[in-house]
Amino acid sequence: MARRTTAAALVCLLAAWPLAVASAPATAAGGCSPASRNGRGDARPEPVPVAAMLADLASRDSSSAALTAPISVPLWVHVLTDGARRAPDEAVTAQVATLNAAYAGTYGGVDTHVRFRLEGVTVTAKAEWFANPLAHETEMKTELRRGGPGTLNLYIGQLAELVLGYSTYPFWYTTAPHLDGVVIDWRSLPGGSLADFDRGFTSVHEIGHWLGLFHTFENGCEAPGDGVEDTPPQATPTVGCPESKDTCSAPGADPIHNYMDYTHDRCMSEFTQGQVDRMHEMWSAYRAQV
C-alpha cells in the first residue's frame, strides 16, 4: 500500500493491522517513523497478511463473467494547493493519460483492461492539507471524496521527504469508506521535479494497491509472497534501475520492471497476467457496485 513510496504512517497502519482483512486502517495522523529506507527515500511498510487476504477473497462469490469484463473506473482528482504551489492542469491531464497508457500495456506487459474515466477535478486551497495531507486525511477525504467503492479519488498534495504516495486497499472499504483513495506527491506527476520519479508511475503503483495488488517483494522469499503466481519471489525492494537482480533461490529473476516494485520510473513498464487476474478478482469481490 504505498508506492515504492509508501507513507511513513503506513508502517504504523500495517504493524497494527490484524489478520481480519476487513479491518480498517487507523488515521494516517500520528508520530510514525519509517521502518527503513531504500534508494528511493521511502518508508518501507511491514509485511501485510497476504494469506489472510487470499482466504477472504476465495470465500467471496465472483462470477467468471465479472472477472473478464473490462473495468471502467470513474476518477475524481482533488488538487490541493497552498496558494502558491499546486499540480498544474496540464500535469493532471498528462497523469490521467499515463494511467490509461500504463494499464493498457502501452509501455510493456499485458493490457489490464482497466481504464480510468475522469469525472472531474477539484482544487482546494488549504495550506495545511497541501503540506501534510496524511496528517489531515480524515477531514480532507470526508470533505472531498466522491462516489462509492468503485470510484477512485486521487488526492494530489506535497508529501513528506520519505513519502511519494499512499493508498488504501479494496478490502478496507467496508469498514472505512470515508478513507478510501490514493494520495500522491504533485512533484511525481509527468514532468514533475522529482528526479527519477517524474513520469507519473507513482500513481500507477499506488492505484495498483487500490485495485488490490501488493508489492512484488511482499514476504520476501517466503510463501505466499505477493499472492500472485507469475511474479517471482523477491527478497528486497529494488533500488534505482539495475540491469537485473535475483534475490531468491526459487526460479525467476526479480520482477524489477513491474509497477509494484520500487524501481525508478524509467525502469517500470509492466503488470503481469496474474496481477491482471487479481485486480479483476478484487474488483468483483470488493469494488463492483451491484
222 is catalytic: no
Q: How many CB atoms lie within 10 A of CB 63?
A: 10
Please count the residues of the chain.
290
What is the rounded CA–CA span in Å between residue 126 and residue 120? 19
Catalytic residue chosen out of the listed positions 90, 128, 137, 206: 206
Angle 236-32-78 from CA coordinates, rounded to 5°: 90
Backbone phi and psi for residue 81, each to the nearest 5 degrees, phi listed first: -145, 150
Contact 218, 169 (CB under 8 A): no
Cell numbers at 137, concatenated: 486525511
Alpha helices, DSSP H only, in the chain?
Answer: 8-15, 50-58, 64-68, 89-103, 127-131, 137-144, 201-210, 273-282
Annotated catalytic residues are: 206
